[in-house]
């Protein structure tokens, strides 16, 4: 694999693009959920079905988009994906009916995954070179977390600027008008990021030729499928991604069990947004100084121990300090695993030139929690209201963390003797 020849701003553009592409489908709905439900006249189940439509299209797109990433330069695919996603924002800003909204989410599943996901991972591997894979992927995940938080804050600022009356007294029509500006300005920013990527995310011409294949053959797909690292990464990413999905319940835990009000519960969610970039950067630097595979194993063990703190019912309304310490433990484990799971591809002998194909195959299984994790968490919480339901969710985290630990341990043992 090559030594790093790409400048620092190359990774900065990957990070910026890596979160910008998900602003319209996900970040706005996360930050403005009550406004989205009211403006589009939806209930929570209907919004969930929109996300599921996205997930189903995305799952197919992971597989077919992977091979595409090995045929074209990453910057071209990433730029086109950003522009097509932003174009969807123009439809979103008209507040279409429910059927059109489902079609739009399916379209976004195509633009953000088929054209974008594998090229982003490949571009990050290229920047990391032979010595900085942990740093590259740690910075990618941490940076994406920070960009998402900043986009959210900018959206809130724009929304408040276009509300003419007091926010608490704003009518549904005023909220809708203000939110349309949030969507349109976000779409404009996503388009500008696409332009920056197209013109500035360039790599050495010789290196670009090395990482592109004219035609993906069946034998190359078989070569990828024969790698033990590919099968292990399917399990590792699936387990780590379930953990990432479960972090969404912390603000609900704060409200239901710690008896926080809505503002305090939202602050818990914001606390998580700003933990992610710190952990991503620190674990990335740490992993490059020893072995990425070792720190991936440690990440799952930390996640398992944090899950036990919640699952055993130790944390009640009277234990505020323990609550925040436990959140920090779980977040450290979950975000570290998320930062490192693609960073171990080099050690797992996955050829750089076939990164896209490998990512497509791995993601086909690895990101299935997009389809099953939400309903599973919802079922556990609804079936056993109160603390018991939350304990069941964290037993689920403990189970997947333990499976992830076993897969990460085997990966570590299998590729331990490989030198940098």
What pLDDT was estimated at residue 312? 93
Work out the average pLDDT over 306-320: 89
Say what the pLDDT of residue 348 is.
93
The encoded tokens of residue 328 equal 């920090």
Q: What is the model's pLDDT at position 315?
A: 87
Model confidence at 4, pLDDT cuts 50, 70, 90, reads very low
Q: Is the pLDDT at 204 greater than 80, yes or no?
A: no
Helix residue ranges per DSSP H, 291-343: 292-311, 320-340
CATH number for the domain running over 1-212: 1.20.1250.20
8 Å CB contact between 10 and 127: yes
186-200 pLDDT tens trace = 999 999 999 999 999
Query: Does position 299 have pLDDT exceeding 90, yes or no?
Result: yes
Q: Percent of the chain, pLDDT > 90?
A: 52
Lowest mean pLDDT across 64-73, 204-213, 254-263 = 204-213
pLDDT of residue 168: 53
- At 319, the pLDDT band (50, 70, 90 cuts) reads confident
- Asked whether the beta carbons of 77 and 116 are under 8 A apart, the reply is yes
Q: What is the pLDDT of residue 263?
A: 62
Under a CB-based contact definition with an 8 Å cutoff, are residues 174 and 52 in contact?
Answer: no
Percent of the chain clearing pLDDT 70 (strictly above)? 95
Whole-number pLDDT of residue 23: 93
CA distance 29 to 37: 9
Segment 46-66 shows an average pLDDT of 87
Taking all residues of the chain, what is their mean pLDDT, rounded to a whole number? Answer: 88
pLDDT of residue 167 exceeding 60, the answer is no
Q: What is the pLDDT of residue 166?
A: 59
Q: What is the DSSP string of 245-257?
A: HHGGGHHHHHHHT
Contacts (Cβ under 8 Å, ≥6 apart) of 400: 238, 239, 242, 243
Over range 49-57, report the average pLDDT.
88
Euclidean distance between CA atoms 33 and 285, whole angstroms: 35
Residue 78, token pair as written in the block: 């990433």
Q: Highest mean pLDDT: which of 39-48, 240-249, 338-347, 392-401?
A: 392-401
Architecture, CATH, for domain 217-420 = Up-down Bundle (1.20)
Q: What is the pLDDT of residue 67?
A: 83
DSSP conformation class of 279: H
* Same fold for the pair 1-212 and 217-420: yes
Q: Are 82 and 193 in contact (CB under 8 A)?
A: yes
pLDDT bracket for residue 37 (50, 70, 90):
confident
Region 244-266 average pLDDT? 82
Residue spans per domain, the chain: 1-212, 217-420
Spatial CA neighbour of 266 closest among 274, 279, 275, 255: 255
Two tokens, residue 193: 């990021």
Nearest to 272 by CA among 330, 321, 340: 330
Residues 324, 328: Cα–Cα separation, whole Å: 6
Residue 419 pLDDT more than 50? no
CA 321 to centroid of chain Cα atoms: 28
Cβ-Cβ contacts under 8 Å for 413 (sequence gap 6 or more): none
Range with lowest mean pLDDT among 15-29, 154-168, 390-404? 154-168
Instruction: Count each helix (H run) and each strand (E run) in the chain, helices first.
Output: 19, 0
Buried b (16+ CB within 10 A) or exposed e, 303-320: bbebbbbbbeeebeeeee
Q: Is the pLDDT reported for residue 81 higher than 90?
A: yes
The DSSP line for 171-216 is -HHHHHHHHHHHHHHHHHHHHHHHHHHHHH----HHHHHHT--S--
Over the Cα atoms of the chain, what is R_g? 21
- Average pLDDT, stretch 106-126? 93
Distance CA 375, CA 347 (A): 35
Over range 397-420, report the average pLDDT: 89
Q: pLDDT for 122-164, tens place per residue?
A: 999 989 888 889 999 999 999 998 998 888 888 888 888 887 6
Q: How far apart are CA 350 and CA 343, in angstroms?
A: 11
């Amino acid at each position: 694999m090559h030594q790093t020849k790409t400048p620092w701003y190359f990774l900065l553009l990957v990070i910026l693009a890596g979160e910008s592409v998900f602003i319209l489908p996900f970040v706005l709905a996360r930050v403005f959920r009550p406004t989205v439900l009211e403006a589009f006249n939806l209930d929570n189940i209907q919004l969930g079905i929109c996300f599921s439509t996205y997930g189903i299209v995305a799952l197919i797109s992971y597989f077919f988009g992977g091979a595409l990433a090995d045929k074209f330069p990453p910057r071209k695919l990433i730029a086109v994906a950003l522009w097509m996603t932003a174009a969807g924002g123009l439809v979103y800003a008209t507040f279409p009916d429910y059927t059109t909204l489902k079609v739009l989410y399916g379209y976004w599943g195509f633009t953000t995954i088929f054209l974008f996901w594998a090229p982003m991972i490949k571009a990050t591997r290229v920047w990391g070179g032979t010595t900085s894979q942990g740093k590259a992927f740690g910075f990618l995940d941490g940076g994406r977390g920070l960009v998402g938080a900043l986009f959210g804050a900018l959206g809130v600022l724009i929304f408040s600027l276009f509300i003419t009356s007091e926010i608490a007294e704003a009518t549904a029509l005023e909220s809708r008008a203000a939110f349309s500006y949030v969507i349109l300005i976000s779409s404009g920013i996503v388009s500008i990021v696409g332009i920056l990527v197209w013109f500035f995310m360039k790599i050495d011409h010789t290196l670009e030729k090395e990482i592109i294949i004219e035609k993906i053959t069946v034998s190359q797909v078989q070569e990828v499928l024969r790698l033990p690292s590919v099968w292990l990464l399917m399990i590792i990413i699936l387990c780590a991604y379930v953990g990432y999905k479960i972090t969404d319940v912390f603000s609900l835990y704060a409200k239901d069990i710690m008896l926080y009000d809505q503002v305090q519960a939202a602050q818990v969610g914001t606390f998580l947004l700003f933990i992610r970039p710190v952990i991503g950067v620190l674990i990335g630097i740490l992993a490059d100084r020893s072995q990425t595979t070792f720190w991936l194993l440690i990440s799952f063990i930390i996640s398992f121990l944090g899950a036990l703190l919640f699952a055993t019912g130790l944390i009640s309304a009277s234990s505020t300090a323990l609550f925040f310490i436990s959140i920090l433990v779980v977040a450290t484990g979950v975000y570290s695993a998320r930062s490192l799971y693609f960073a171990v591809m080099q050690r797992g002998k996955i050829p750089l030139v076939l990164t896209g194909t490998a990512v497509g195959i791995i993601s086909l299984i690895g990101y299935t929690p997009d389809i099953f994790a939400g309903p599973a968490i919802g079922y556990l919480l609804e079936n056993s209201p109160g603390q018991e339901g939350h304990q069941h969710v964290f037993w689920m985290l403990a189970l997947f963390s333990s499976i992830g630990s076993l897969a990460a341990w085997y990966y570590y043992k299998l590729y331990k003797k490989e030198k940098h």
